[in-house]
Structure 1
Amino acid sequence: MNFSSLASRLDNIAPFHVMELAKMATALEHQGRDIIHMGIGEPDFTAPPLVVEAATAAMQAGKMQYTSATGLLALRIAISEHYQQVYGLNIAPSRIVITAGASAALLLACAALVEKGSEVLMPDPSYPCNRHFVAAFDGTAKMIPSGPAERFQLSDAAVRANWGEATRGVLLASPSNPTGTSILTSELEKIVATVRAYQGFTIVDEIYQGLTYDAAPFSALSLGDDIIVINSFSKYFNMTGWRLGWLVLPEALVAPIEKLAQNLFICASSIAQHAAIACFAPASIAIYEARKAEFKERRDFLVPALIALGFKVPVVPDGAFYVYADCSDLSDDADRLTKEILNEVGVSVVSGLDFGPFTASSYIRLSYATSMDNLCEAVRRLAIFFGKETVIAP
């Protein structure tokens, strides 16, 4: 076979520039350079002791066989109880499907709902893999320019204006990567009502919902049993490499998704599932909440520091661990700027290039999922890069 002739869907999958920049940063480290990593969206914390102990105990007890495709019942019950305790929601364990990370959850949802010619609305900017999940099933992601006035999120007016004959639903994220901004509850209610009127689907990625700083906990699941919610153990629960997530589905979708999961994944990692049950122990939750407070402290340091350096932060992030900063007063090419910063002062940040064309040249994303010491040093280096004398201390 001639492997130069590959499936045409690959033409719709763009390179992941964040990872390319990470490779550049790693190459500089191998040359002996000291690099501060603020590009990858990965917590600098790891799983707390009870989770590690639970994984060890599961391995020692030989609990390494396949689970059902929907996941361990004990874990699904623990997630259900978490929704009750945190959000006051009664989510039946039968509606919860454990997946191999949020990526697998999104893949399964798109496999069930997207077909050739389907169009899915999402904001520009948004996480690049979301549009690629749609493209993988021969659908089209319609990226709708969404600026500071919309908190970089879809608005109900935009959904109404862009819904067409081929539109099948919306894919949202709240809080969002790359912006760290949430959809206002009142606006989300309107969007859900509009999509429901069009008989479409609403998928809401809530993997950063546990890291919301300025408002009471809220889940889109409170808006109806027909909402599809994605979540993950990667961000709030600090288990990125464990590759574990979950879907909350309408009852009618559970069987179709289970059939897909059986065929595409068999099941998520059994060891990770046994370990994740310990995430919901009070001692683990106390650790997570302390870490969440530390993330907020970092945000409250970094945002004013960036403004002092000449960036604009038109919407202060209320969740996740990102600042989406407007660099248009400092450069006319965000991608070039990030490479110059990396090479000259050893701070790795990423441009808006991955997240959609609307903000590609004028915004950079900075992750504050690193220590306060690293953030202070990064600000000091950026001050040198931009020729600023004043460095803000925490």
Structure 2
Amino acid sequence: MNSVSEPLIHLAARVDAIQPFYVMEMMKEAEQLERAGRDIIHMSIGQPDFTAPEPVLEAAANALRRGDMHYTSALGIRALREAIAGHYAHAYGIDVDPARIVVTAGASAALLLACTALVDRDDEVLMPDPCYPCNRHFVTAAEGKPVLVPSGPAERFQLTADDVERLWTSRTRGVLLASPSNPTGTSIAPDELKRIVEAVRARGGFTVVDEIYQGLSYDAPPVCAVSFGDDVITVNSFSKYFNMTGWRLGWLVVPPSLVDAFEKLSQNLFICASALAQHAALACFEPATLAIYEMRRLEFKRRRDFLVPALESLGFAVPVMPDGAFYVYADCRNVPHAAAGDSAVLASAMLHDAGVVMVPGMDFGSAAPHDYVRVSYATAYPRLEEAVERLRGLFSR
């Protein structure tokens, strides 16, 4: 039989404009080692080791038994939008109209909707460097241009109002922020966030704030960007605080005038978020379930409070104490290892020689990527202790 050569299919230019997601490449390497029999401690991927608690699972089972598996409104089922609005009122004291809430297929779909709705070809969007890589790729997918602003420890690795005022041009359309941030675990101070919103508003732009780690705040009450005006767009998710990563469910809070546009886009791009996930998520807001989430939040804080000084004892520097999420952005230039100062080489050595997975900084931008590794503490406390001892052994060789 004659073999038929595969036809050459032209890919859109946007594919080349989007870089690989190196954390996933690290995960592939780790999985290969695990298949070969190695015990690997995962401190890389941003996935809680906790899973959906029993009330959420029971709500999902009940929905399956009832057959509530049909398409829903593109905006989400009304009961869930009302429950989310109620959560803003009870947890943060903020009045959010349920009509402004758009339920999405995860925060990724929320960000894609926001960029599709707001970004035209060649529009520039200001973002901090470092930042979560997928966020800037959503801008690229909408044919916009992410403008990464070097943001170091002095700025808490976050964009500032001064950056907005200094870098805004006729091509700038808005800002995309994250608070608390992935990869740094740092939040934008309330006064600074307010200044950013006001600076963007004065220039007729949009402010989108990724708040998917909002519930995982440790040192002060979290700040809700919606409190700074109805024109602020926020993104949230059931993945992190609510421990429902694979359920793919999130939401947006959008200005009243934009609800119809977001609904139209959602209808065409996604139809709706998972009906099963939506019905299950209603149980997230029951008092007993929220009590479980609060205990888990405190456990994440306990892990942070152990890990930061432990990393410092190994030679890492933590220039900004992470106040949220479950990440530490650690400076690796002074660790006692030949690969100090080259986070990619060091990450490979830690994986292959100690069985500990961390993520090199090159995933998160071009500002000092070789100086930093992102360390996730979304894994069990005893495993964190073991990882520290493994690295202590590696660095003492």
Which residue does 2:325 correspond to in 1? 320
Which residue does 1:277 correspond to in 2? 282
Picking from 351, 359, 376, the partner of 1:342 is 351
Picking from 365, 384, 388, the partner of 2:374 is 365
Which residue does 1:138 correspond to in 2? 143
Aligned partner of 2:207: which letter?
A: T
C-alpha distance in structure 2 between counterparts of 1:106 and 1:387, whole Å: 44
User: For 1:202, what is the secondary structure of its paired residue?
Assistant: strand
1:138 shift after superposition: 0.6
The more displaced of 210-219 and 73-82 is 210-219
Aligned partner of 2:39: which letter?
A: D
Equivalent positions of 1:156-171 (< 5 A) are 156-171=161-176
C-alpha distance in structure 2 between counterparts of 1:190 and 1:207, whole Å: 21
The answer to whether residue 298 in structure 2 is matched with residue 289 in structure 1 is no
The answer to whether residue 260 in structure 2 is matched with residue 251 in structure 1 is no
C-alpha distance in structure 1 between counterparts of 2:386 and 2:50, whole Å: 19
Aligned partner of 1:225: which letter?
A: D
Alpha carbons 1:34, 1:346 under 8 Å: kept: yes
C-alpha distance in structure 1 between counterparts of 2:166 and 2:33, whole Å: 46
Equivalent positions of 1:155-194 (< 5 A) are 155-194=160-199
1:4 shift after superposition: 4.2
1:143 shift after superposition: 0.2
Which residue does 1:65 correspond to in 2? 70
Which residue does 1:379 correspond to in 2? 388
1:78 shift after superposition: 0.3
Which residue does 1:153 correspond to in 2? 158
Extract unaligned runs of 5+ from structure 1.
Answer: 389-394
TM-score normalised to the size of structure 1? 0.97
Aligned partner of 1:378: which letter?
A: A
Aligned partner of 2:192: which letter?
A: E
Which residue does 1:391 correspond to in 2? none
State the number of aligned residues.
388
C-alpha distance in structure 1 between counterparts of 2:9 and 2:71, whole Å: 37
1:170 shift after superposition: 0.1
CA deviations over 1:89-109 (Å, ceiling 9, x no partner): 110000000000000000000
1:208 shift after superposition: 0.2
Picking from 11, 14, 17, the partner of 2:16 is 11
RMSD: 0.9
Aligned partner of 1:364: which letter?
A: V
1:340 shift after superposition: 0.6
Equivalent positions of 1:200-239 (< 5 A) are 200-239=205-244
C-alpha distance in structure 2 between counterparts of 1:255 and 1:184, whole Å: 32
Alpha carbons 1:86, 1:217 under 8 Å: kept: no
Picking from 7, 20, 23, the partner of 2:25 is 20
The more displaced of 256-265 and 153-162 is 153-162
CA deviations over 1:135-184 (Å, ceiling 9, x no partner): 00110000000000000000111111111111000000000000000001
C-alpha distance in structure 1 between counterparts of 2:396 and 2:169, whole Å: 49
TM-score normalised to the size of structure 2? 0.97
The answer to whether residue 273 in structure 2 is matched with residue 264 in structure 1 is no
C-alpha distance in structure 1 between counterparts of 2:207 and 2:167, whole Å: 15
CA deviations over 1:293-332 (Å, ceiling 9, x no partner): 0000000000000001000000000000000000011312
C-alpha distance in structure 2 between counterparts of 1:251 and 1:3, whole Å: 46
C-alpha distance in structure 2 between counterparts of 1:332 and 1:141, whole Å: 27
1:216 shift after superposition: 1.4
Picking from 335, 342, 347, the partner of 1:333 is 342
The more displaced of 175-184 and 5-14 is 5-14
Picking from 122, 127, 149, the partner of 1:117 is 122
Aligned partner of 2:286: which letter?
A: A
CA deviations over 1:26-80 (Å, ceiling 9, x no partner): 0000000000000000000000111000000000110000000000000000000
Which residue does 1:355 correspond to in 2? 364
1:5 shift after superposition: 2.0
User: For 1:325, what is the secondary structure of its paired residue?
Assistant: strand
Which residue does 2:42 correspond to in 1? 37
Tell me the percent identity: 62
C-alpha distance in structure 2 between counterparts of 1:351 and 1:305, whole Å: 19
1:3 shift after superposition: 3.9
Aligned partner of 1:220: which letter?
A: A
User: For 1:5, what is the secondary structure of its paired residue?
Assistant: coil
Which residue does 1:107 correspond to in 2? 112
1:359 shift after superposition: 2.7
Which residue does 1:88 correspond to in 2? 93
1:376 shift after superposition: 0.3
Aligned partner of 2:82: which letter?
A: I
